[in-house]
């Protein structure tokens, strides 16, 4: 393949050759045209001069002419022929007035017409004929003034000019030989061609040097481009010119610098992406959670080894198919989750049921997220599935252990609480047996201890066997109003005032009314007992988005920070005569209503109980 320098040299040399060729052609054509024009001008001048003398001679023959110079036209013709060697013959005719050489019969007559012209010849010679066209040329010249015709005779190139002079009634025909002059033109042309051929190597050498000068900056730029293509950006081009080549070199230097920066960033990003990909691949392949990716139509795109082990389908069986891993009972939930993802929502982990290849179902925890393209359009869904069978079994075992522990604590607490009054009863009974006397004061104490035993057993039964709950939609404000009316008289005896602040909007919840009343009674009784000096108990009910918030705030003695986390445990209480079962029961009731109860307290300032219940929309 030819280099750009050789091709440029060939192009420049071709341009030089074409230019020289065009120059030779144009010069040859111009010399021929100029020669023909000069000969025609010469012939016209000779014809005018000969005609003038012939006319004078003709007038002298008809009568005296004072202007006649006495020069014979024949001698004048000979003088012109001797002076101009290319003039071969000059003939002076007197054309026919009617039906002569210029008539149509004369043009058609051929040689006969030529013989007729010979008969009308006045001066000179008429030896060169134009094959019967001379009569027509003569007639045309008498009308238009002059007619020229190229001829070939005896291997010579001739030019015949016919000139008409109607005022004198004469016509002149002059034949000139152009061959010698054409020969000189050919010699000049051949000389130019030879000179061009001799100068062609010099022109090629000059063009080669010019191409080298023009290509040298481009070769430097090409070398720099090769370095950039090979990843070497450190050596800049030397810019010594201000033309387009220099500007190109500056742009290439800037491009190489930018490419160096971008390449470094790309290498760093590539290494980070490669490391991250290896890290993610390791996690995907070695995690015990099943991971699968499916498109928006539910066709699986990718699965990890844990998916194969958990569901029983191999990767070859799963890819490209829509597997029945969701049982019919969970299909509605799955469709709702997909619709939520398509709507742009983020889904938390949800516990549901999945089906294996053998048809068996098992409990799982599924986290599903959407995979989007650069335009934010969802292209696929990625799901992480965790088998919850073992964990649920463990949770059940823990719950059973916790229940047993709670039962043990309750049994120990109940035994401890009942043993004290029983000991008192036994002591007084033994004393009565020994003294064989009834002491009214002892009887009152024994009845009080029996009442305490009955209270402990009643609360324990309520905790152990809760009544069946039937939820109905109730307004919390009305339930609180009933409880306040019930405890209002007791509050007045203790010098306590209830202050209420309820929302004007309905605060409706799905609840079991008696259970909520029991919770509010327990909390308000605790608040009354915590304020021995009386005061104000604030009760608020507010409707917030999705929740009904009930706040009960007293200004009593408060609870220490160490005891707050233990509230709800059996027989943990800050009151001397309390059992701690009231708070435990209240917490269990609120949990059964899908709500929360929070206790905040400061010693000496009071306690605030906040209950959140799901609102009915």
At residue 550, the pLDDT reads 94
Query: Out of 3.30.450, 4.10.800, 1.10.3470, 3.40.50, which CATH number does the structure's domain 37-61+71-95+117-177 have?
Result: 3.30.450
Q: Give the span between the Cα atoms of 537 and 529, in whole angstroms.
A: 12
CATH of domain 472-614: 3.30.565.10
Average pLDDT over residues 92-121: 58
Confidence of residue 172 (pLDDT cuts 50, 70, 90): very high
At residue 578, the pLDDT reads 56
Average pLDDT over residues 404-414: 60
Q: Give the span between the Cα atoms of 217 and 418, in whole angstroms.
A: 109
pLDDT at 138 over 80: yes
Of 72-76, 146-150, 225-229, 329-333, which gets the smallest average pLDDT?
225-229
pLDDT at 104 over 60: no
Sign of the CA dihedral 468, 473, 479, 482?
Answer: negative
How many C-beta neighbours within 10 Å does residue 524 have? 24
Average pLDDT over residues 540-567: 87
Average pLDDT over residues 364-372: 90
At residue 62, the pLDDT reads 55
At residue 120, the pLDDT reads 81
- Mention every residue, 6+ apart, whose C-beta is less than 8 A from residue 86: 39, 176, 177, 178, 180, 181
Average pLDDT over residues 575-594: 75
Query: Out of 3.40.50.970, 1.10.287.130, 3.40.50.2000, 3.90.930.60, which CATH number does the structure's domain 394-464 have?
Result: 1.10.287.130
Query: Rounded to the nearest 5 degrees, what angle is found at the Cα of 604, between the Cα atoms of 601 and 605?
Result: 55
Give the tokens for residue 99. 């039906």
At residue 536, the pLDDT reads 92
Q: Under DSSP, is residue 336 helix (H, G, I), strand (E, B) or coil?
A: helix
pLDDT at 48 over 60: yes
Residue matched to tokens 């949990």: 591
In DSSP terms, 386 is beta-bridged to 365
Residues 568/572/574/577 CA torsion (nearest 10 deg): 110
pLDDT at 577 over 60: no
* pLDDT tens-place string over residues 235-282: 776 766 676 777 777 777 777 778 778 888 888 888 888 888 888 788
Number of residues in the chain: 617
Confidence of residue 109 (pLDDT cuts 50, 70, 90): very low
Domain ranges of the chain: 37-61+71-95+117-177, 287-387, 394-464, 472-614
pLDDT at 433 over 90: no
How many C-beta neighbours within 10 Å does residue 410 have? 17
At residue 576, the pLDDT reads 55
Confidence of residue 101 (pLDDT cuts 50, 70, 90): very low
Q: Give the span between the Cα atoms of 176 and 81, in whole angstroms.
A: 10
What's the CATH architecture for 287-387?
Answer: 2-Layer Sandwich (3.30)
Please give the order of strands across the beta sheet that includes 300-303: 300-303, 290-295, 378-387, 361-372, 350-355
Task: Tell me the pLDDT of the chain averaged across its residues.
Answer: 81
37-61+71-95+117-177 shares its CATH topology with 287-387: yes
At residue 102, the pLDDT reads 41
Share of the chain above pLDDT 90, in %: 14
pLDDT at 4 over 70: no
Average pLDDT over residues 555-564: 83
CA distance readout (Å), 235 to 220, 222, 259, 260, 261: 12, 13, 13, 11, 14
The beta-strand segments (E) located in 419-534 are 472-475, 496-502, 508-511
* pLDDT tens-place string over residues 438-473: 777 777 777 777 876 776 676 555 555 545 557 889
Residues 541/558/555/607 CA torsion (nearest 10 deg): -10
Average pLDDT over residues 469-492: 85
At residue 262, the pLDDT reads 81
* pLDDT tens-place string over residues 369-407: 998 888 889 889 999 998 888 877 776 676 666 556 655
pLDDT at 537 over 90: yes
pLDDT at 199 over 80: yes
Q: Give the span between the Cα atoms of 440 and 437, in whole angstroms.
A: 10
Share of the chain above pLDDT 70, in %: 82
């Amino acid at each position: 393949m030819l280099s750009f320098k050789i091709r440029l040299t060939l192009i420049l040399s071709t341009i030089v050759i074409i230019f020289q060729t065009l120059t030779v052609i144009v010069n040859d054509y111009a010399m021929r045209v100029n020669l023909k024009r000069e000969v025609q001008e010469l012939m016209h001048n000779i014809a005018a001069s000969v005609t003038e003398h012939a006319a004078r001679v003709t007038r002298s023959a008809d009568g005296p002419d004072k202007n006649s110079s006495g020069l014979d036209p024949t001698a004048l013709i000979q003088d012109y022929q001797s002076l101009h060697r290319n003039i071969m013959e000059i003939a002076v005719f007197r054309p026919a007035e009617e039906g002569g050489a210029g008539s149509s019969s004369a043009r058609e007559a051929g040689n006969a017409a030529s013989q007729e012209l010979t008969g009308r010849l006045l001066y000179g010679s008429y030896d060169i004929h134009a094959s019967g066209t001379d009569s027509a040329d003569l007639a045309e010249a008498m009308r238009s003034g002059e007619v020229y015709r190229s001829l070939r005779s005896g291997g010579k190139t001739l030019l015949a000019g016919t000139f008409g002079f109607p005022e004198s009634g004469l016509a002149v025909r002059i034949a000139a030989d152009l061959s010698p002059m054409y020969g000189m033109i050919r010699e000049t042309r051949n000389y130019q061609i030879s000179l061009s051929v001799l100068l062609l190597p010099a022109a090629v050498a000059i063009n080669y040097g010019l191409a080298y000068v023009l290509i040298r900056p481009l070769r430097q730029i090409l070398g720099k481009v090769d370095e950039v293509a090979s990843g070497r950006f450190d050596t800049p081009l030397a810019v010594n010119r201000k033309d387009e080549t220099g500007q190109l070199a500056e742009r290439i230097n800037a491009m190489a610098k930018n490419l160096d920066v971008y390449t470094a960033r790309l290498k760093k990003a590539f290494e980070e992406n490669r490391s991250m990909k290896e890290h993610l691949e390791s996690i995907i392949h070695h995690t015990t959670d099943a991971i699968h990716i499916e498109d928006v139509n539910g066709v699986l795109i990718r699965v990890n080894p844990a998916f194969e082990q958990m569901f029983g389908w191999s990767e070859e069986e799963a890819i490209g198919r829509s597997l029945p891993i969701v049982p019919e009972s969970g299909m509605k939930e799955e469709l709702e989750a997909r619709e939520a993802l398509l709507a742009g929502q983020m889904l938390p982990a949800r516990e549901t049921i999945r089906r294996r290849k053998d048809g068996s179902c098992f409990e799982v925890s599924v986290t599903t997220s959407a995979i989007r393209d650069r335009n934010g359009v969802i292209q696929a869904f990625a799901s992480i599935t965790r088998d919850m069978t073992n964990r649920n079994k463990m949770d059940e075992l823990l719950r059973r252990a916790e229940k047993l522990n709670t039962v043990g604590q309750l049994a120990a607490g109940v035994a401890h609480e009942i043993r004290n009054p029983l000991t008192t009863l036994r002591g007084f009974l033994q004393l009565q047996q020994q003294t064989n006397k009834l002491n009214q004061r002892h009887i009152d104490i024994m009845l009080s201890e029996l009442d305490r035993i009955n209270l402990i057993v009643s609360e324990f039964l309520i905790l152990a066997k809760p009544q069946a709950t039937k939820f109905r939609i109730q307004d919390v404000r009305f339930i609180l109003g009933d409880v306040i009316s019930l405890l209002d008289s007791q509050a007045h005896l203790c010098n306590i005032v209830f202050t209420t602040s309820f929302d004007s909007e309905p605060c409706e919840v799905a609840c079991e009314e008696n259970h909520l009343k029991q919770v509010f009674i327990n909390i308000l009784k605790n608040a009354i007992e915590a304020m021995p000096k009386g005061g104000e108990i604030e009760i608020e009910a507010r409707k917030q988005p999705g929740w009904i918030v009930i706040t009960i705030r007293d200004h009593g003695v408060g609870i220490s920070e160490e005891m707050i986390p233990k509230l709800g445990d059996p027989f943990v209480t800050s009151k001397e005569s309390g059992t701690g079962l009231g708070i435990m029961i209240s917490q269990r009731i609120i949990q059964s209503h899908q709500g929360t109860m929070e206790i905040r307290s400061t010693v000496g300032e009071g306690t605030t109980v906040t209950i959140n219940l799901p609102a009915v929309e």
